[in-house]
Amino acid sequence: MNVVKQVFGTDFRQFTMVFALVALLLGFHIASGGNMLTPGNMQNLIAGNAYVLILAIGMVMVIVIGHIDLSVGSVAGFVGMCVALSARDLSFPWWAALLAGLVVGILIGCWHGFWLAKIGIPGFITTLAGMMIFRGGVIWISGSVSVPVPPELNVLGAGYLPEWGPAFTYLNNSTLLLGILAIVLYAWSQFSTYRRRVADGETGLNAAAVVIRVVLVGAVLAYVTFLFGSGRPGTSFPIPGVILVVLVIVYHVITQRTTFGRHIYAVGGNKQAAALSGVSVNRVYFLVMANMSFLAALAGILFVARATSAGPTDGNMWELDAIAAVFIGGAAVSGGIGTVAATMIGGLVMATLNSGLFLMGVGQDKTQVIKGLVLLAAVAFDVYNKQQGRPSITGRLFGDRAKSESTTDTVKIAPTTTGTNGG
């Protein structure tokens, strides 16, 4: 039993959303007559939802610091239109239009960060104003018509990893290489962590648990590699998915392994204690908001690249999907709790619902109702467990910084310690 606990952790409830995601995939696969877990559908699921998942990466950081960004959909739509217009009307090459769009996104984030960090207007109000400004702005500058984007951008939104090498693998070799690399890196990280814990003198560790965990996760990664690499000729793991994976790794490291990441959780856990510990709260606010709009700009560019044109309604209501992904992933409304990895699980749950219900012929009206009920149930279940004194189920998933309710109580009692440890 001790080995099992070391493989899955001491509390199986932490993996509720992972189990829910697997159950949804299998359930929809059976209900749709085997159309869910197919290479083509999974490729479309990742490529078609990558922009929302990218928004969710930035949104979890905003919510952790105790704020919310309502403008991300409007910013994404505005930036996408700026890219299209700069290429069409200003004759920018595709790469210059892309860079210009990212710069516009960063400037918008700095604008939001200024009002929050320097003037002290809450993020909810600041970004509500931003939502109105940039939603109106995209309609204004577009003249309410769609504008085509450079065809070179299409590979970013709808491209696949290239094919090369021998044919006897019967898989896309780029996807196969990516999968092997993922398995090797995961195994290396797990054994490195085990060796470090042993060197630190930690007792009760079982090497068999590490081996079992590596085998289980490796089997999942191998299946995913096969699924994405065995599609029709010319398809493989989508380029938007590659961009998403890179961003998840980068932001996981930033939030879990850097000083800035510790400051984010410190500010979200107890702003006053963080300030007393030497954390620049205003700097954290400013950088998090600037980063959010940067990611919104990137999401908008990927979307218009996939759609081949920018439209005046692009980005409408995207912020709600991003916020839902964060809260299904276990983030706390009050701030201080939430991880990038858990947010990706929440986002994939929403994406699976969209795809599965579509395959079953469920209309958008009923789909929205079901997604709303799932969001409410997930958050209510998490809140219930915290009220019972149990660890937050999804909030602690894969996260070193995400805290249980008992830890949050300790933060309130001993704020100086919170500031030192990063909340």
Question: Residue 265 above 60 pLDDT?
Answer: yes
Q: What angle do helix axes 16-31 and 340-359 make, rounded to 10 degrees?
A: 20
Question: Residue 255 above 90 pLDDT?
Answer: yes
SS (H, E, C) 124-176: HHHHHHHHHHHHHHHHHHHCCCCEECCHHHHHHHHCECCCCCCCCCCCCHHHH
User: What is the pLDDT, as a whole number, of residue 407?
Assistant: 40
Confidence of residue 178 (pLDDT cuts 50, 70, 90): very high
User: What is the pLDDT, as a whole number, of residue 409?
Assistant: 41
Residues in the chain, how many?
Answer: 423
Question: Residue 51 above 60 pLDDT?
Answer: yes
Mean model confidence pLDDT for the chain: 87
C-alpha to C-alpha distance for 415 and 94, rounded to whole angstroms = 50
Left if phi > 0, otherwise alpha if psi is -120 to 50, otherwise beta: which for 307? alpha
What is the rounded average pLDDT of the residues 232-255? 94
Question: Residue 291 above 90 pLDDT?
Answer: yes
Q: Are 374 and 353 in contact (CB under 8 A)?
A: yes
Question: What's at 206, amino acid-wise?
Answer: N
Count of Cβ atoms closer than 10 Å to residue 89 Cβ: 10
Q: Are 56 and 326 in contact (CB under 8 A)?
A: yes
Confidence of residue 419 (pLDDT cuts 50, 70, 90): very low
Chain centroid to Cα 301, Å, comes to: 17
> What are the extents of the domains in the chain?
2-81+238-278+319-421
C-alpha to C-alpha distance for 400 and 247, rounded to whole angstroms = 18
Q: What is the pLDDT of residues 339-384, one digit of tens each?
A: 999 999 999 999 999 999 999 999 888 988 998 888 888 777 766 7
Confidence of residue 412 (pLDDT cuts 50, 70, 90): very low
User: What is the pLDDT, as a whole number, of residue 201?
Assistant: 84
Question: Residue 406 above 70 pLDDT?
Answer: no
User: What is the pLDDT, as a whole number, of residue 17?
Assistant: 80
Read off the pTM.
0.87
User: What is the pLDDT, as a whole number, of residue 420?
Assistant: 39
Q: What is the pLDDT of residues 114-129, one digit of tens each?
A: 999 999 999 999 999 9
Q: What is the pLDDT of residues 268-283, one digit of tens each?
A: 999 999 999 999 999 9
User: What is the pLDDT, as a whole number, of residue 95?
Assistant: 96
